[in-house]
Amino acid sequence: MENAKIILDFLRFSEKLKTQKRDNLLSDGNRESVADHSWHLALMALVVSPHLESSVDLLKVFKMILIHDLPEAEIGDIPFSKSVQNPALKKEKDDQEKSEIGKIKNMVRGDLGKEIYE
């Protein structure tokens, strides 16, 4: 029963990615959500991977795609284009993301929490 609660709490937390907006615009002019971004990135990986010169571990790629923006559920999106131009903002973003992924690790617990963190 405790595992079910942990899973449900994590899924509720991760759902926030559906409402976090990014600076990127969709073809209809609306801003994409972080979840939109993750889904499209996963789809790109799926269709591009067969055409790469070297094979990739697609499961590992999908896991990385699903996890890479999880901290943004709490801290929001800080666009790469802005952080790369501002070293102080990049450090703040990196510090916030590291702190938040640590919280997520503790939320999920066990081997999966460790895998998410790493």
What's the pTM?
0.85
Report pLDDT digits (tens) over 64-113. Answer: 999 999 999 999 888 888 888 999 998 999 999 999 999 999 999 999 99
pLDDT higher than 90, residue 33? yes
Note whether 107 and 73 are within 8 A (CB).
no
Q: DSSP for 49-103?
A: GGGSSS---HHHHHHHHHHHTTTHHHH----HHHHHH-HHHHHHHHHHHHHHHHH
Residue 95's pLDDT is what? 95
CATH fold of the domain at 2-117? Hypothetical protein af1432 (1.10.3210)
**Residue 70: what pLDDT?**
96
Q: Output the pLDDT for position 56.
A: 96
Query: Residue 21: pLDDT above 80?
Result: yes
Per-residue pLDDT, averaged over 34-61, amounts to: 97
Query: What is the residue type of 43?
Result: L
**Residue from 58, 79, 59 nearest 69 by CA:** 79
